[in-house]
Amino acid sequence: MNKVNQVKEQIHRLKEQINHHNYRYHVLDSPEISDAEYDQLVCELKQLEEEYPYFLTPDSPTQRVGAAPVEAFGVVEHPYPLLSLGNAFSEKELANWYTRTLRMLDDEQVDLVCEHKIDGLAVALIYVDGKLVTGATRGDGFRGENITQNLRTIRSVPLSVSRDAPARFEVRGEVFLPVAGFHRLNQERAREGQPTFANPRNAAAGSVRQLNPRITARRPLDIYIYMLGYAEGKAVPDTHWDRLEYLKSLGFKVNPHNARFKSIKEVEDYYQRWINNRESLPYEADGVVVKVNSVTRQEQLGSVGHEPRWAIAYKFPAVEATTRLKEIAISVGRTGTLNPYAILEPVKVGGVTIKQAALHNEDDVRRKDIREGDWVTVRRAGEVIPEVVGPIVSKRIGKEKEYNLLEKIFDKKKGRPACPVCGAEVIRPEGEAMYYCINTACPAQVQHGIELFVARGVMDIRGIGESLSSTLLNEGFIHDVADLYSLKEKRDALMQLEKMGEKSVDNLLAAIEVSKNRSLARLILALGIRHVGGEMAQLLASEFEDLDDLKNSSSERLLEIEGVGPKIAESITKFFAQPENLKIMEKLRTAGVWPKRTPTEAAELPLAGMEFVITGRLEAFSREVAQERVKGLGGTAKDNVTRNTNYLVVGEDPGGGKLSRAGALGTRQLTEEEFLALLEEKRRQ
């Protein structure tokens, strides 16, 4: 085949692929590839079409915004098409966009607005004489689906607005399912034996595009309005920012994290800040949308195809990809849990190649019906270990193997399932989803225990990584965490180890010595008691004098502590009932690792001692989430204003009682904005 025919063939193939994925994404709400991979295909096609323009046809998927609407809903024509956005994947691409924009405007600077690009579903809402009359999906940009009845069920969509509003206007926004609601929905579906959604976006789209609005109504959907489409019969502000403020005043929900900037440097900072913090958001965001603020300037810039020149999506590094799952293997965790994990065909996610991913537990694998040989979606978000989201069932060829843990660890010689590391017996406690190796001396358990003990934020002993801890264990230098403190007696022998010169041994011993002074909270955390994480360790350290005091406390006393439930109390009691653990404690005491509660212990967290009460609706998150944030920073959240209340956070439609009581007591009041700023400031401390 000659070159031109080859290109033609390639374009044809790409078009077919993209059309197929468009259909899966927009119509079936069940994609087979990640957004990043989809973008990649479109990018390839665009490049070819640019290079060989005579192959560019009007029906090319690069020439339209989404998929055609589903007939069953009825069609809504968009008088002004709903545009899509061009992407920038690097600082350089963003800078290029900005330079081009300035050049076209023949200017040196232009004001910009940054918003989160929420991963949901674009909708248009039309209001006539103050009433919501039509709600539609984007569809192909020109014609969308009429989903008015469904959108009416979303509580943050105003059904009517002030009569002062323009006689007829359209707003556009993103409907989404908060991450917490998404997990709840999937759990519920799994319990009912229904297929789960791959991500919040699919769940939101699947919920909104329901022929039965009652189903939509049961889903905890939310919306952020991100622009005014058009307005008739009344003048509206002439910048994007002021329009959003105006829409807010009409009762629309606008993202409080939106920000206005005067330079591209500030945009870059905003983007970096949110890359690092995006996990803390209640919704999924896949980038930052950067928009030219002045509407006149926007009109001057216009659009190319279906992408405006006045806005761009600055994408966060991808978090999802698809690949083949080669095998399900089993590792032994710190508490003896047998954890299935996936061995993958290596795949790049956000610039990092991943070969393994977590599968959580037995039930999870079964529930998601993940099989060996399956094509799967994997996800790597923030610092978390990559996880397998679920299989792509449509790609099965029939050769995939269902997974069974007991079969995998069955030891033929012993005639029973056995721990894959030490061969000990395996049990599954009633009501639990995990199997456990019963041997607390199992090398895998001990090694993970050491890794936790030395970790940053715990006893913080630099210089002991995975490989040294396993050497120390295997060579018999240590048998448990407390033995670390007697390593100084083995200085000479340590120097004989591979890669351990005099200097690194001395550094290590010094680091171990320094760690003796860590706080009680850190030591409690370092013990690795099940269900006792960082926050719980802090709480316990503020209640108990030292490890003896904690050890001797009865379940009753533990349960009296606010925040300690039966599960945690039982786990603590069990921990101190085990002779091996008591032996470790004694060794620690002898070594001088015996911190006492310090008066500052409770005050280690930035909001310690601060009591908050929240009244009214908050825009950024639900009251429960707000309370969690406060607690996460060491503060307390109460329901009623008392003398002890430090701050009353006042949301929309606040309760009159709390307000007047706070007024009478002179309690400091915070607007939502001030509250968010305070959290942000404290979080940085």
Is residue 199 close enough to count as binding ligand IVH by CB under 6 A? no
Q: Where are the beta strands (DSSP E) in 263-310?
A: 285-292, 303-304, 307-308
Give the range of 115-123, 362-370, 481-489, 510-518 binding ligand IVH by CB under 6 A: 115-123
DSSP state letter for 281: S
Structure-token pair, residue 518:
């860590």
DSSP state letter for 450: H
Is residue 271 close enough to count as binding ligand IVH by CB under 6 A? no
Is residue 145 close enough to count as binding ligand IVH by CB under 6 A? no
Give the range of 112-120, 481-489, 520-528, 542-550 binding ligand IVH by CB under 6 A: 112-120
DSSP codes, 549-574:
HHHH--HHHHHHSTT--HHHHHHHHH
* Alpha-carbon distance values, 296 to 64, 80, 130, 460 (Å): 26, 17, 26, 56
CB-based burial, 504-541: b 16+ in 10 Å, e otherwise: ebeebbebbeebeebbbbbbbbbbbbeebeebbbbbbb
Q: Closest distance between ligand IVH and the C-beta of residue 189, in Å?
A: 24
Which is closer to ligand IVH, CB of 260 or CB of 530? 260
Beta bridge partners of 652: 617
672, 256 contact by CB (below 8 A): yes
Give the range of 54-62, 234-242, 307-315, 331-339 binding ligand IVH by CB under 6 A: 307-315
Is residue 138 close enough to count as binding ligand IVH by CB under 6 A? yes
Give the range of 23-31, 79-87, 477-485, 655-663 binding ligand IVH by CB under 6 A: 79-87
Binding residue (CB under 6 A) for ligand IVH from 85, 208, 541, 618 = 85
Q: Closest distance between ligand IVH and the C-beta of residue 37, in Å?
A: 16
Is residue 267 close enough to count as binding ligand IVH by CB under 6 A? no
Burial class (CB in 10 A: 0-12, 13-18, 19+), 370: buried
Binding residue (CB under 6 A) for ligand IVH from 117, 309, 368, 629 = 117
Closest CA to 612 of 652, 655, 641: 641
Collapse the DSSP code of 224 into the 3-class scheme (helix H, G, I; strand E, B; otherwise coil) and give the result: strand
Q: Closest distance between ligand IVH and the C-beta of residue 577, in Å?
A: 53
Which is closer to ligand IVH, CB of 118 or CB of 358? 118
C-alpha dihedral sign at 93, 99, 100, 102: positive
Is residue 115 close enough to count as binding ligand IVH by CB under 6 A? yes
412: number of Cβ within 10 Å: 7
Q: Which residues 490-529 are close enough to bind ligand IVH by CB under 6 A?
A: none
* Alpha-carbon distance values, 276 to 241, 287, 604 (Å): 25, 12, 23
516, 524 contact by CB (below 8 A): no
3-state secondary structure 47-83: HHHHHCHHHCCCCCHHHCCCCCCCHHHCEEECCCCCC
Q: How far apart are CA 32 and CA 541, in angstroms?
A: 48
Which is closer to ligand IVH, CB of 244 or CB of 679? 244
Binding residue (CB under 6 A) for ligand IVH from 226, 270, 436, 612 = 226
Which is closer to ligand IVH, CB of 85 or CB of 532? 85
Residue the block writes with tokens 């307000």: 659
Is residue 205 close enough to count as binding ligand IVH by CB under 6 A? no
Q: How far apart are CA 527 and CA 575, in angstroms?
A: 9
Is residue 140 close enough to count as binding ligand IVH by CB under 6 A? no
Binding residue (CB under 6 A) for ligand IVH from 69, 144, 308, 449 = 308
Closest chain position to ligand IVH (CB)? 122
Structure-token pair, residue 415:
């005639």
Q: Closest distance between ligand IVH and the C-beta of residue 42, in Å?
A: 12
Give the range of 117-125, 148-156, 602-610, 617-625 binding ligand IVH by CB under 6 A: 117-125
Collapse the DSSP code of 490 into the 3-class scheme (helix H, G, I; strand E, B; otherwise coil) and give the result: helix
Told to judge if 92 belongs to the known catalytic residues of this protein, a careful annotator would answer: no
Q: How far apart are CA 159 and CA 153, in angstroms?
A: 9
For ligand IVH (CB under 6 A), the number of binding residues is 15
Give the range of 110-118, 483-491, 584-592, 608-616 binding ligand IVH by CB under 6 A: 110-118
Q: Closest distance between ligand IVH and the C-beta of residue 48, in Å?
A: 22
Q: Which residues 309-328 are close enough to bind ligand IVH by CB under 6 A?
A: 311, 313
Is residue 289 close enough to count as binding ligand IVH by CB under 6 A? yes
Is residue 301 close enough to count as binding ligand IVH by CB under 6 A? no
Burial class (CB in 10 A: 0-12, 13-18, 19+), 79: exposed
Choose, from 3, 8, 92, 117, the residue flagged as catalytic: 117
Task: Lay out the site mask for ligand IVH across 347-386 (x = CB under 6 A, - = otherwise).
Answer: ----------------------------------------
Q: Which residues 173-192 are close enough to bind ligand IVH by CB under 6 A?
A: 174
Binding residue (CB under 6 A) for ligand IVH from 84, 101, 293, 553 = 84
Which is closer to ligand IVH, CB of 145 or CB of 543? 145
Which is closer to ligand IVH, CB of 289 or CB of 650? 289
Q: How far apart are CA 597 and CA 601, in angstroms?
A: 6
Q: How far does the chain reach from its first CA to its final CA, in angstroms?
A: 64
Give the range of 46-54, 80-88, 425-433, 442-450 binding ligand IVH by CB under 6 A: 80-88
Residue numbers of the site for ligand IVH (CB under 6 A)? 83-85, 115, 117-118, 122, 138, 174, 226-227, 289, 308, 311, 313
Annotated active-site positions, please?
Answer: 117
